[in-house]
């Protein structure tokens, strides 16, 4: 009996070992098949990029965009950016609540806010002296990504790199001086400050990445708000209107597709970089030998476990949709955005956040808003030139064509002509906004809640 029991137990052990070995073989085969499938997905994604003739590596991106051909960065720009101070917290808080409403209403600056702006402008007089002499052609490259000395993702090494916050501080300084000059009745000073700000904005976002695009969108929005205030508070002549109209071309936000393509080249370079370089960029680990060793261990398992291939395959698929959808109309973008949300629900949202896919789609929505602001501004500048010549407001935007506008600008949201309405006093040119409903030119500052339905207007109250 004992021998029979031992034989039975031995047979069971052998069966268990065979089952376990079979399980390991099946698991290994499944893992190999998964890795092969991921490699095929990656190959197809990369090959599709090559077939479209789009840059795939940072080197190709640099070759496509080209280096700065305007010569060395002007010393005045270096000094100005280095000397420019950020607004004090109290001033930033005041502006966040009052800048938009003031720009829309055209009312004089409140005494306390005006004093705070004047103090900030005076404290930055040295920076302003240099910013005023920046040549119009100085469209320079500014890169916000910390490359951690990794040559694989260095963009035009040797070029001076300014943090985007410093460049935005320079633009904000010029915006505030323009508002101050307009409030004082110094039309020439207000216009010159606005033109200087537009030259600074031209230097933002020249390298096609989501970070550069984000900086330019924010600064461009501030420029349009400043223009609203200047138009309402200052008496511009025909030459000044023409100068501003020509300078607004640098705000053209039609760089979405290029930003996605550039960002994709940078992220693909990061996939091939060592994890310690990535951890340096994201501030995950320290600089000690132990931290670097830990980074190397994690990088090894990250690659060998197939997680790197899984992430890259996912990223290529998501960015292919983003690049193809970057030139869609607003209705097409809405459909694509819903598909993105559905895909995020079935995938790791961490991947979307890490690889800036969500960021790109959010900024795409902001781009439509900037397009609306820019088109309404262009229409207002044309109306003001018409009024100076004819002595009265046009009855419709069609009256501006072809003398002041090549065509009536279309609303980027519903693709119909911009709305125009005479008021007493002044007039409004507006876009219907994302809800696609005509609210009669009501801005977000006139609603009880900023999320309530509203339009994107440019109101002139004189």
The predicted pLDDT at position 152 comes to: 34
Retrieve residue 265's tokens. Answer: 């080249």
Cβ density class 369-392: b for 16+ within 10 Å, e for less: bbbbbbbbbbbbbbbbbbeeeeee
Q: Which of 180, 193, 162 is nearest to 73 (CA)?
A: 162
Burial (CB count within 10 angstroms: exposed 0-12, middle 13-18, buried 19+), residue 350: exposed
Is the whole-model pTM more than 0.75? yes
Residue 85: C-alpha distances to residues 124, 128, 178, 224 (Å): 7, 11, 17, 22
Quote the CA–CA distance of 339 and 324 in Å, as a whole number: 14
Cβ density class 311-345: b for 16+ within 10 Å, e for less: bbbbbbbbbbbbbebbeeebeebeebbeebeeebe
Burial (CB count within 10 angstroms: exposed 0-12, middle 13-18, buried 19+), residue 3: exposed
The predicted pLDDT at position 399 comes to: 94
The predicted pLDDT at position 339 comes to: 74
Phi, psi of 429 (to 5 degrees): -115, 130
Quote the CA–CA distance of 190 and 179 in Å, as a whole number: 7
Quote the CA–CA distance of 170 and 159 in Å, as a whole number: 19
Residue 398: C-alpha distances to residues 379, 385, 410, 421 (Å): 11, 14, 12, 13
User: What long-range pairs does 14-23 form, CB within 8 A, spacing at least 24?
Assistant: none
User: In 17-166, at which residue ranges do the beta strands (DSSP E only) sit?
Assistant: none
What is the CA 297 to chain-centroid distance, rounded? 35
Average pLDDT per consecutive 10 residues, the chain (462 residues; last block may be shorter) = 62 80 89 89 91 83 59 57 69 68 76 87 84 58 35 34 60 89 92 88 69 78 90 89 84 72 79 51 54 69 79 82 79 76 60 55 79 93 92 93 92 94 92 90 80 88 86
Cβ neighbours for 393, distance < 8 A, ≥ 6 positions apart: 383, 386, 387, 422, 427
Is 39 within 8 Å of 32 (Cβ atoms)? no
């Amino acid at each position: 009996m004992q021998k029979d029991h031992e034989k039975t137990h031995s047979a069971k052990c052998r069966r268990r070992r065979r089952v376990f070995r079979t399980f390991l073989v099946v698991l290994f085969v499944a893992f190999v098949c998964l890795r092969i499938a991921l490699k095929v997905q990656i190959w197809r994604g990369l090959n599709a990029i090559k077939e479209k003739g789009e840059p795939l590596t940072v080197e190709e991106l640099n070759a496509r965009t080209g280096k700065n051909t305007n010569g060395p960065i002007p010393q005045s720009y270096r000094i100005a950016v280095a000397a420019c101070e950020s607004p004090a917290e109290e001033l930033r808080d005041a502006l966040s609540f009052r800048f938009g409403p003031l720009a829309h209403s055209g009312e004089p600056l409140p005494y306390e806010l005006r004093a705070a702006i004047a103090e900030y402008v005076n404290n930055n007089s040295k920076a302003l002296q240099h910013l005023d002499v920046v040549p119009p052609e100085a469209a320079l490259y500014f890169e916000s990504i910390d490359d951690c000395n990794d040559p694989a993702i260095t963009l035009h090494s040797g070029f001076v790199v300014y943090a985007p916050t410093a460049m935005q501080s320079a633009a904000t300084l010029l915006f505030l001086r323009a508002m101050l000059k307009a409030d004082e009745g110094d039309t020439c000073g207000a216009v010159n400050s606005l033109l200087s700000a537009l030259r600074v904005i031209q230097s933002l976002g020249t390298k096609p990445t989501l970070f550069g695009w984000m900086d330019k969108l924010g600064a461009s929005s501030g420029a349009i708000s400043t223009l609203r205030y200047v138009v309402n508070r200052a008496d511009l002549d025909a030459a000044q209107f023409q100068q501003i109209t020509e300078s607004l071309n640098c705000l053209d936000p039609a760089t979405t597709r290029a930003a996605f393509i550039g960002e994709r080249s940078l992220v693909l370079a990061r996939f091939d970089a060592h994890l310690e370089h990535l951890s340096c960029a994201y501030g995950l680990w320290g600089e000690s030998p132990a931290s670097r060793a830990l980074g190397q261990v994690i990088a090894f398992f990250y690659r060998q476990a197939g997680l790197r291939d899984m992430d890259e395959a996912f990223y290529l698929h998501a960015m292919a949709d983003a690049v193809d959808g970057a030139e869609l109309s607003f209705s097409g973008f809405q459909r694509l955005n819903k598909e993105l949300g559905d895909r995020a629900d079935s995938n790791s949202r961490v991947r979307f956040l890490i690889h800036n896919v969500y960021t790109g789609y959010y900024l795409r929505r902001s781009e439509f808003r900037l397009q609306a602001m820019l088109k309404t501004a262009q229409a207002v500048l044309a109306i003001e030139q018409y009024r100076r010549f004819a002595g009265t407001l046009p009855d419709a935007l069609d009256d501006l064509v072809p003398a002041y506008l090549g065509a009536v600008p279309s609303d980027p949201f519903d693709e119909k002509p911009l709305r125009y309405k005479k008021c007493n006093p002044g007039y409004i040119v507006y876009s219907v906004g994302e809800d696609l409903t005509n609210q009669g030119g009501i801005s977000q500052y006139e609603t009880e809640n900023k999320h309530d339905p509203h339009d994107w207007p440019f109101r002139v109250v004189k």
